[in-house]
Structure 1
């Protein structure tokens, strides 16, 4: 069930509405708020607050406990839902990690890709970028592993996260906000500036992360990055 655990975690982390995603999975497993709360040793009102977004989005530890609990309850019932949801393990192609052969500053990165600065441009000059991680926003929802954040950084955390197939920018920034380690900067690709969710920019500003918008063709972007 490891694949299923990763899928649920990724969906909650990347969801536009994490609370609604948690509620969906609780209902799929046919567990009441009271039963879930009792098993997690928290109050039903806490579960309700998460699901209605009255409480701050759940962190990795809460999501992990949530998944472990719904699966344990289902196993105690004879695993009716887990048997229906059993899925085949597949290679993770949601992201790829590349390192640069030279040190690149944030401003160098922005200029080489002719990126539009959405937030914290004044920080780019002091940011060091030793590589980048290309993340497919669609695939990562299915394949992301909540306990494998370190894999996204390769050998060093000072890198750029480039999210592709982005629809609004909100989900990638929520995922980065919840991450235990922050990249040097974040770039989003696949939309126009007018379509960027203001919340994505606010999260970047609050977390002091430079946020860039890439509007060129992805193969061309990768070709440019391969020169460094």
Structure 2
């Protein structure tokens, strides 16, 4: 959390309009001038003067007290905003792993290596080239991952396979793919019963021309096989 505090303090200190930046962050934390003034032991008019640039630019000491106050007040109110920042600080490895290949392989070879079965768009297996894969914890990505992380799923190139773990019907992964501006070359649903795949997921896969692949090979064996490439 200290890193986030330093970023906010730096933004205020370097801003051409520090008062407006202070007001922006106070509003982001949903804290009133009255609440902030009471916590800092100063008058509301002092807060108003800083935000209106009617006082000289705040020094580092004032900015530090201001930023700490935002987080302190937020904690008293339940810590909702602070929690969002904590989520942002989590490493991407908590949600997904990006792996790049030293050379390209066909999607057909990829499917063979993971002992998979194409459930849709099997005609594309011979022509699609793959340059890597991303192993994705579907539950964490869909429920918890900050939106700003999504583009990182693609690593260096889009010509890659998304391997989703923790899936039950496959609907959520394909809804995510459907609304994304970038698309993977194929989607693997790990340890799923092909008979239970959601119809909407199948339709999205076919419409987007993104092969859906099922495999029950263990994740450790999948990584062992693919990381040799």
The two structures have a TM-score, normalised by structure 1, of 0.63
Give the CA RMSD over aligned residues: 2.5
Matches within 5 A, 1:53-202: 75=30, 83-84=77-78, 85=80, 86-87=82-83, 88=86, 89-92=89-92, 93-202=94-203
**Structure number with larger C-alpha Rg:** 2
The number of equivalent residue pairs is 159
Q: Hey, which bits of structure 1, 4+ residues long, moved more than 6 A?
A: 76-82
* CA distance in structure 1 between the partners assigned to 2:91 and 2:139 by the alignment: 15
Check 1:100–1:73 CA distance in 2 against 1; reply closer, same or farther (3 A cut).
closer
| Structure 2 unaligned regions, length at least 5 | 2-26, 36-69
Check 1:120–1:90 CA distance in 2 against 1; reply closer, same or farther (3 A cut).
same
SS state at 1:75 partner: coil
* CA distance in structure 2 between the partners assigned to 1:215 and 1:90 by the alignment: 29
- What CA deviation, in whole Å up to 9, does each residue of 1:100-125 have, x standing for no partner? 11111111111121211111010111
SS state at 2:178 partner: helix
Shift of residue 190, structure 1, vs aligned partner = 2.6
* CA distance in structure 2 between the partners assigned to 1:128 and 1:166 by the alignment: 25
* CA distance in structure 2 between the partners assigned to 1:74 and 1:202 by the alignment: 42
Contact 2:106 2:126 in 1 (8 A): yes
* CA distance in structure 1 between the partners assigned to 2:206 and 2:120 by the alignment: 6
* CA distance in structure 1 between the partners assigned to 2:186 and 2:104 by the alignment: 14
Contact 2:113 2:222 in 1 (8 A): no
Further displaced range: 128-137 or 81-90: 81-90
Further displaced range: 194-203 or 166-175: 194-203
Contact 2:161 2:185 in 1 (8 A): yes
